[in-house]
């Protein structure tokens, strides 16, 4: 009897800890939603391309409050929110709109491990949409604008003994502001989706020495058989040294040392080239040495690959991978989830769409007006997928003109709007610069927020000459950048050709199939063209692929099919929005996709 009573008391004590969270609402959900443990959310190391051995995850149940804009720190909170899921999402446990007239407040307590004493403590946020203000122990430590890039603060001076208090305030104007927001709008409909406000990627801490490595920029050169590593550091002085070593597996193959601020060049003899078919990655270690002491060490990786263009024997400019003609073919990937919105429920889920893309025979993904967590790009690096990275759109749209070179007036942004765009685009490029999977930057899509196209394109190309720039995907073309990118629905079509650039079909398809029980909007869904079953849908896809194959021979160097999954009211995915059903015959799709890819490869 005594044991039963003790057990009952323990259950009463601990039950509230788990009972205070459950998914909100009655929308469809993925199978991964059932696997979420609120005490162990997205527990994987969040930044694999720059990994330290010691870190602490702060994800979990925090206090939250939604208050009118301009109010002070709340004295009382509204309830619990599961970080890092946005307030509008089911998995947050909240599923409430925030809106541009309100601010979203977070509160939690954390402890710093005792063995971190003497180190600088960095507080990291994977991404917060959009403007974030941070307090530690009632002291404001900093602010950040930008909904898609990581940021951190050194919070060491503000720490005390014992438990620490963390407060975060977020304001997100969504479609009422000029900031990059992708497909988020206040009133979702059609191709526009639910707002995402607040913390939506992992919050974490790590200890570093006073002299530490801040960032590595890794650029391969397969023609010279080298990589160049640029290391940014903090707290360093004259005489401090950076040492970088490349590994094939666990075998060291090259080492270089240089004083801080100098580039390091390593020779990679007989390099194993990275391709989607063979995505070989070398390991890399970087050390910061001061005198005889190694003050910091990180683990990284790199791939030896080159993306370029070259005129073929018929005068057509073709995309090349590692100096060989290579057709790039993949889906338009929105990166949305019915339960987590911007945030995948688990790392397994985050990886799943990439694995499925490979199963379909594709070698590329166009990441559409969204930026993913760092682990997504590492999954692409490891699995072998080329990535076209869009800049998330913002502000308003000028006139869209897609069947000739643009002869209209571009959007005239305010100085503040222009500053926001330039800052966030540079931050995105800095964040993703070293990932070998990324081969194309896309500053603008379909005139959404498009301004100063030639200037932005030339800046992008100069900032990263190692990749191609697709300056205006789907219209408002200028004779700038590397690519002319056509959009056409539903079937493929080539209605414009540029002999000085590589020509691609940046969007086509949109074959819809609504499946009962897997619909976000059961009574309001659409596709560019709709069918009644998988057989009909697959047949239409194969028909389009056969047409595309002829256009590849005529001049296309890449194509993007819409899309990976259904999203909210859209039912034109290879998979349902909950990822529970494949809507086409995968072997048939893979077979015809490989026909298209192999249409002109060496």
Q: Following DSSP, what letter does each residue of 215-267 receive, concatenated?
A: EEEEEEETTTTEEEEEEEEES--TT-EEEEEEEETTEEEEEEEEETTS-EEEE
Helix (H, G, I), strand (E, B), or coil: what is residue 376?
A: helix
Among 41, 53, 133, smallest CA distance to 81 is for 41
pLDDT at 19: 56
- 506 and 489 Cβ atoms separated by less than 8 Å: no
Closest CA relative to residue 218, chosen from 435, 495, 461 = 435
Question: Using H for helix, E for strand and C for coil, what is the string for 528-561?
Answer: CEECCCHHHHHHHHHHHHHHHHHHHHHCEEEEEE
Cα separation values, 211 from 50, 232, 599, Å = 16, 11, 53
16 burial class (0-12, 13-18, 19+ CB within 10 angstroms)?
exposed
- Fold observed for domain 327-597: TIM Barrel (3.20.20)
Coil, strand or helix: which one is 308? Answer: strand
Beta bridge partners of 103: 67
The rounded percent of the chain whose pLDDT value lies above 90 is: 94
Residue boundaries of the structural domains of the chain: 19-208, 212-302, 327-597
Q: What pLDDT, on a 0 to 100 scale, did the predictor assign at position 14?
A: 44
pLDDT tens, 220-259?
A: 999 999 999 999 999 999 999 999 999 999 999 999 999 9
Given a cut of 70, is residue 528 above it in pLDDT?
yes
pLDDT tens digits for range 28-69: 999 999 999 999 999 999 999 999 999 999 999 999 999 999
- Asked if 19-208 and 212-302 have one fold, the answer is no
pTM for this predicted structure: 0.95
Query: How high is the pLDDT of residue 542?
Result: 98
Q: Where does the pLDDT of residue 129 fall: very low under 50, low under 70, confident under 90, or very high at 90 and above?
A: very high
Tokens at 328, concatenated? 């790039």
Residue 411, both tokens: 């959007």
3-state secondary structure of 138: coil
Q: Is the CATH number 2.60.120.260 carried by domain 19-208?
A: yes
Contacts of 456 (CB under 8 A, 6+ apart): 422, 425, 443, 444, 471
Q: Which CATH class is domain 212-302?
A: mainly beta
Structural element, H or E, at residue 107: strand 102-110
Tally DSSP H helices, then E strands, for the chain.
7, 34
| Three-class secondary structure of residue 509 per DSSP | strand
Strands 324-325, 102-110: pairing is unpaired
3-state secondary structure of 485: strand
- Which has the closest alpha carbon to 50: 296, 272, 227, 266? 296
Length of the chain counted residue by residue: 602
For residue 416, give the 3-state DSSP assignment.
Answer: helix
Is the confidence at residue 5, as pLDDT, over 70? no
pLDDT tens, residue by residue, 85-125: 999 999 999 999 999 999 999 999 999 999 999 999 999 99
Q: What is the pLDDT of residues 398-420, one digit of tens each?
A: 889 999 999 989 999 999 999 99
């Amino acid at each position: 009897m005594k044991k039963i009573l003790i057990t009952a008391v323990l259950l009463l004590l601990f039950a509230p800890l788990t009972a205070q969270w459950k998914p909100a609402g009655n929308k469809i959900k993925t199978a991964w939603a059932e696997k979420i443990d609120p005490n162990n959310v997205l527990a994987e190391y969040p930044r694999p391309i720059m990994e330290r051995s010691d870190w602490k995850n702060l994800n979990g149940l925090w206090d939250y409050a939604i208050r009118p804009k301009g109010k002070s720190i709340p004295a009382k909170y509204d309830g619990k929110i599961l970080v890092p899921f946005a307030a509008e999402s089911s998995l947050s446990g909240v599923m409430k709109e925030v809106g541009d007239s309100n601010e979203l407040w977070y509160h939690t307590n954390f402890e710093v491990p005792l063995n971190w004493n003497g180190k600088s403590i960095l507080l990291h946020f994977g991404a917060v949409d959009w403007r974030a203000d941070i307090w530690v122990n009632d002291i404001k430590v900093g602010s950040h604008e930008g909904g898609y890039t990581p940021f951190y603060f050194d919070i060491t001076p503000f720490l005390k003994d014992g438990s620490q208090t963390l407060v975060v305030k977020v304001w997100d104007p969504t479609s009422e502001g000029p900031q990059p927001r992708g497909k988020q709008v206040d009133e979702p409909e059609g191709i526009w989706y639910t707002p995402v406000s607040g913390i939506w990627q992992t919050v974490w801490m790590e200890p570093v020495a006073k002299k530490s490595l801040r960032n590595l920029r890794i650029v391969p050169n397969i023609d010279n058989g080298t990589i160049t590593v640029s290391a940014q550091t903090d707290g360093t002085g004259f005489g401090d040294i950076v040492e970088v070593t490349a590994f094939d597996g666990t075998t060291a193959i090259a080492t270089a040392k240089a004083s801080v601020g100098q580039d390091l060049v390593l020779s990679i003899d007989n390099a194993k080239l990275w391709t989607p078919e063979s995505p070989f990655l070398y390991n890399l270690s970087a050390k910061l040495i001061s005198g005889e002491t190694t003050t910091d060490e990180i683990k990284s990786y790199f791939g030896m690959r080159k993306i370029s263009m070259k005129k073929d024997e018929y005068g057509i400019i073709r995309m090349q991978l590692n100096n060989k003609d290579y057709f790039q073919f993949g889906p338009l990937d929105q990166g949305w989830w019915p339960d987590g919105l911007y945030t995948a429920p688990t790392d397994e889920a985050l990886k799943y769409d990439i694995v499925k893309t490979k199963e379909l025979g594709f070698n590329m993904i166009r990441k559409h007006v969204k930026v993913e967590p760092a682990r997504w790009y590492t999954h692409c690096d490891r699995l072998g997928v080329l990535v076209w990275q869009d800049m998330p759109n913002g502000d308003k749209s000028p006139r869209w003109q897609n069947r000739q070179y643009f002869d209209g007036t571009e959007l005239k942004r305010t100085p503040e709007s222009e500053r926001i765009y330039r800052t966030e685009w540079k931050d995105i490029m800095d964040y993703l610069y070293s990932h070998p999977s990324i081969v194309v930057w896309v500053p603008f899509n379909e005139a959404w927020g498009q301004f100063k196209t030639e200037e932005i394109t030339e800046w992008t190309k100069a900032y990263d000459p190692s990749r191609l720039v697709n300056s205006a995907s789907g219209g408002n073309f200028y004779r700038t950048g590397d690519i002319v990118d056509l959009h056409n629905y539903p079937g493929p079509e080539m209605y414009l050709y540029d002999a000085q650039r590589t020509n691609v079909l940046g969007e086509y398809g949109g074959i819809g199939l609504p499946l009962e029980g897997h619909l976000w909007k059961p009574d309001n869904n659409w596709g560019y063209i709709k069918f009644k079953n998988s057989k009909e849908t697959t047949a239409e896809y194969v028909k389009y692929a056969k047409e595309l194959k002829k256009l590849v021979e005529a001049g296309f160097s890449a194509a993007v099919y819409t899309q990976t999954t259904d999203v909210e009211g859209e039912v034109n995915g290879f998979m349902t929005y909950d990822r529970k059903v494949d809507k086409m015959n995968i072997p048939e799709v893979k077979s015809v996709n490989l026909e298209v890819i192999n249409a002109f490869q060496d």
